[in-house]
A = this chain, B = another copy of it.
């Protein structure tokens, strides 16, 4: 499918892409580009890529499919370096959790020989690092692919095929739509989990049961990664927080006033929404 896939940033997502691309033979070689020698060694030890290097120029040389899998906060500066190095035809994607700001900036900088498409594989967990990477991470997951006025339809088709080969189902939308949806369904829940952990009395923590553990699981996610996500999706996230605060205030008032019927109605409506989901892991 490709001659050389270059993955910049071999962590949970980058490493899982490498493992899956190797397993499914999507390229003649899969190369990892790391910032630190220690990460380079771990990526190779894990077998997440065929070989890894800290030398960007060497890693990129001849790559016809390039993936930016760094933290969102350095995705744009990484793309700048790619654009300076790559003079041949190549596809470039990122895998960050926020899209509007990053895609806009990369769209503006890419030269004609590089086809850039923003993507967001909705997989992963509270774990991070290549040690948690797995080839099956994207199986049955959703990958959102963004499309702007500058995105080439041919490139979208190829990138869609790439993610489908890795096991994901793809949905194409604008970066703005992506950020609104994901603020609501992913970034807000993370913010809520982080908040809940801070709000609980320390002396009550010992009584935590499974409910608390599940509700706060994603609060163990990487702080630097989530700093970048919250900061780069500030507008949509604060809108989602606004809706959440309204719902919270309404539930609080209902309990305070002792409105029994309304309380049952609210809880019933919430349960009905949750019941539409099936849990992968049966409990």
Interface residues of A (CB under 8 A from B): 122-123, 125-127, 141-142, 144, 171, 180-182, 184-186, 188-201, 203-205, 207-224, 226-227, 230-231, 234, 237-238, 240-241, 243-248, 251-252, 255-256, 258, 260, 263-264, 266-271, 273-277, 279-281, 283
Cβ–Cβ contact A231 & B258, under 8 A: yes
Q: Is the CB of A215 within 8 A of B193?
A: yes
Contacts of A210 in B (CB 8 A): 125, 280
Q: Which of A123, A125, A208, A270 has the most CB atoms of chain B within a 10 A radius of its CB?
A: A270
Bound together, the chains give a CA A227 to CA B269 distance in angstroms of 13
Q: How far is the CA of A212 from the CA of B237 in the complex (A)?
A: 15
Residue of B nearest to A190 (CB): B211
Whether A252 and B238, one on each chain, are in contact in the complex, defined by CB atoms closer than 8 angstroms, is yes
Can you list 6 pairs linking A and B with CB atoms under 8 Å apart?
A185-B208, A186-B211, A198-B273, A211-B217, A213-B277, A245-B248
CB closest residue in chain B, given A132: B283
Query: Is there an interface contact between A191 and B251, defined as CB atoms closer than 8 Å?
Result: yes
Q: How far is the CA of A266 from the CA of B230 in the complex (A)?
A: 12
Q: Which residues on B sit within 8 Å (CB–CB) of A258?
A: 231, 234
Option from B141, B198, B274 in Cβ contact (under 8 Å) with A209: B141
**A215 CB contacts on chain B under 8 angstroms:** 189, 192-193, 214-218
CA distance A240 to B277 in the complex (A): 28
Flag if A204 contacts B185 (CB, 8 Å): yes
Query: Which residue from chain B places its CB closest to the CB of A279 in the assembled complex?
Result: B213
In the complex the two chains form, is A273's CB within 8 Å of B197's CB? yes
Cα(A185)–Cα(B234), bound, Å: 29
Kindly name the residue among A200, A252, A258, A269 whose own CB sees the greatest number of chain B CB atoms within 10 A: A200
- Nearest-neighbour CB distance to chain B for A147, whole angstroms, equals 16
Residues A188 and B200 in contact in the complex (CB < 8 Å), given A215-B193, A277-B213: yes
Most interface-central of A205, A223, A276 (chain B CB within 10 A): A223
The complex places the Cα of A222 from the Cα of B263 at a distance, in Å, of 12
**CB of A212 to closest CB in B, whole Å:** 5
